[in-house]
Structure 1
Amino acid sequence: MGRVASRRRADHVVAVVAFDGVQLLDVTGPAEVLTTANGFGARYAVRVVSPSGADVRTSSGVRIGVDGALESLPARLGTVVVPGRRDWRRAVADQDLIALVTELSRRSARVTSVCAGAFVLAQTGVLDGRRAATHWRLAAQLAAAQALLDAGNNPVEKVAEESGFGSAETMRRVFQHTLGVAPTTYRARFRTTAAAVTRAGMPGHLVS
């Protein structure tokens, strides 16, 4: 009588991205939650990776070790977790980090971020055409940009600088995945609607 080989469920590999200046809790929080779930039947294999494969120093000054770089991971991943940092503009300007997250997103069945990590994902283009959430405090920058676009004629580059986005490309990506339109389109639509309201004799200011 032949033996039927038992099939052991494969581990769900989770890649947590780490980089200098990352917030410690954004890395350790997801890792702790997922590994705790293993005690209740899950099979998460958490791997912490950095762009260079070297250890990183977090925003709190605590140094954390990593499992390696991109090459240390399998070809296919279950989930990638992208943490954030307080100064998210420096994160989106880090080309090595963006390249790593872009490739991890391509390999992974599921992509997620923590707080300001959403801006890193936006910079890769992964969020184009999709809705996403980030830390509520960062919504103030989006509101500031909307107000500047509504009220003035400054170029998009100037609006991005004054509202804290740093670059027009970053602001465009945030507008695209949050509001579904580019900043220039938002400005044109708002002014068209506002003009129509004015012609109709309706007082007040539209709230976007």
Structure 2
Amino acid sequence: MGGVGAATPGAGGRVVVIVAFDQVQLLDVSGPLEVFTTANRYGACYDVRVVSPTGTDVLTSCGLRIGASARPERLPRGVDTLLVPGRRDWRCATADDALMSLVSGLAERARRVTSVCAGAFVLAQAGILDGRRATTHWELAPQLATAFPQVRVEPDPVFVRDGHVVTSAGVTAGIDLALALVEEDHGADLAREVARQLVVFMARPGGQSQFSVRMSAQHSQHPLVRRAMDEITADPSLPRGIDALAAGLGISGRHLARLFRQETGMTPGQYIDAVRVEAAQALLSSGTTSVEEVAQQAGFGSSETMRRAFQHVFGVSPTVYRARFRTTAGPATSPVASLPA
């Protein structure tokens, strides 16, 4: 059929191979494909090939059949980027000998190897993630860590880069990943044009959380922890020490810290910092409030403290984060640095 599996512009440019197989998640394939082919309209030169193990059409998880644009044996020797999408039943994917053979062979000759969502399981099965940091959809992260203990799983980030291997989270994170790769190859200006055309964010920084930290309060089973989390999220700008927070709950600071770790895997202080970062994200993207004012309203106290927090979590400054977020509304008013390698 024409469409997803159709030939794309850019023949003779950077060869991007997207692997397709039965029950693959459609957006894992089509999201990055749209980013790379749209980039060609603005001066990039990606030669995108959708390849299946047999060279034939595949049936996606949503029931739509898509075509392969090239047979494996007809791919050029030099591959710039290999992208492996996923399927929810990852065990079927990792047990597919033809798929594993294709991915392993392509990975050996690719300049960089990437995955979207459950595609990380395929890379792990091939040994590509051994000893590396990696991520996947937050719901699948515990399974990845259990099935492949040699992989250092980070369940929270949108995507994780370790050397020439980049893994990303759930389906739409594949778009963030592809935009980051375009920016790496062709600079922020071209990537910004692609993001504006697709009406998406320029690129969520790889370190950004897959989901709101405030939602974690809904998953806590302990009423005291939930009360503490609700109080923190109600106004992150209020100065809070663990002892004062615990006193309001009628317990000791040590007991609250222990409950917090048991329920959330983090300390109260870490949760406060995470909520403040999230509050700052919203403020930075919502208007013309200065960075210093954002820092005060989000509870950081100073822009320097907030800058250190953003550098630690996202790898970019608050100013760069704001510029990235605004790229879908119009040209950025300040330079946007490339994502750190």
TM-score between the two structures when normalised by the length of structure 1: 0.66
Are 1:30 and 2:32 counterparts?
A: yes
In structure 1, how many angstroms separate the alpha carbons of the residues matched to 2:126 and 2:114?
13
CA RMSD of aligned residues (A): 2.4
Q: Please list every run of 5 or more consecutive structure 1 residues that lacks an aligned counterpart in the other structure.
A: 1-8, 146-170, 181-202
Give the drift of 1:107.
Answer: 1.1
Q: Structure 1's 179 and 60: CA in aligned 2 closer, same or farther, altered over 3 A?
A: closer
| Partner AA of 2:150 in structure 1 | Q
Q: Structure 1's 10 and 68: CA in aligned 2 closer, same or farther, altered over 3 A?
A: closer
Q: Structure 1's 179 and 66: CA in aligned 2 closer, same or farther, altered over 3 A?
A: closer
SS for the counterpart of 1:29 is helix
What's the % identity of the aligned pairs?
59
In structure 2, how many angstroms separate the alpha carbons of the residues matched to 1:75 and 1:46?
14
SS for the counterpart of 1:101 is helix
In structure 2, how many angstroms separate the alpha carbons of the residues matched to 1:176 and 1:82?
20
Residue 152 of structure 2 is matched in structure 1 by 178
Q: Per-residue displacement from partner, 1:18-53 (whole Å, max 9, x unpaired)?
A: 000101111111110111111222111100001011
Residue 50 of structure 2 is matched in structure 1 by 48
Contact 2:134 2:153 survives alignment (8 Å): no
Are 1:84 and 2:86 counterparts?
A: yes
Residue 68 of structure 1 is matched in structure 2 by 70
SS for the counterpart of 1:47 is strand
Give the drift of 1:179.
Answer: 5.3
Residue 139 of structure 1 is matched in structure 2 by 141
Are 1:97 and 2:104 counterparts?
A: no
SS for the counterpart of 1:80 is strand
Are 1:124 and 2:93 counterparts?
A: no
In structure 2, how many angstroms separate the alpha carbons of the residues matched to 1:138 and 1:115?
9
Give the drift of 1:141.
Answer: 3.1
In structure 2, how many angstroms separate the alpha carbons of the residues matched to 1:117 and 1:63?
19
Give the drift of 1:140.
Answer: 4.0
SS for the counterpart of 2:105 is helix
Residue 19 of structure 1 is matched in structure 2 by 21
* Higher relative contact order, chain-length normalized (CA < 8 Å, sep 6+): 1
In structure 1, how many angstroms separate the alpha carbons of the residues matched to 2:152 and 2:134?
6
In structure 2, how many angstroms separate the alpha carbons of the residues matched to 1:97 and 1:142?
18
TM-score between the two structures when normalised by the length of structure 2: 0.41
| Partner AA of 2:34 in structure 1 | E
| Partner AA of 1:73 in structure 2 | L
Contact 2:123 2:129 survives alignment (8 Å): yes
Q: Please list every run of 5 or more consecutive structure 2 residues that lacks an aligned counterpart in the other structure.
A: 1-10, 155-254, 267-341
Contact 2:33 2:48 survives alignment (8 Å): yes
Give the drift of 1:69.
Answer: 2.5
Q: How many aligned residue pairs are there? A: 150
Give the drift of 1:176.
Answer: 1.0
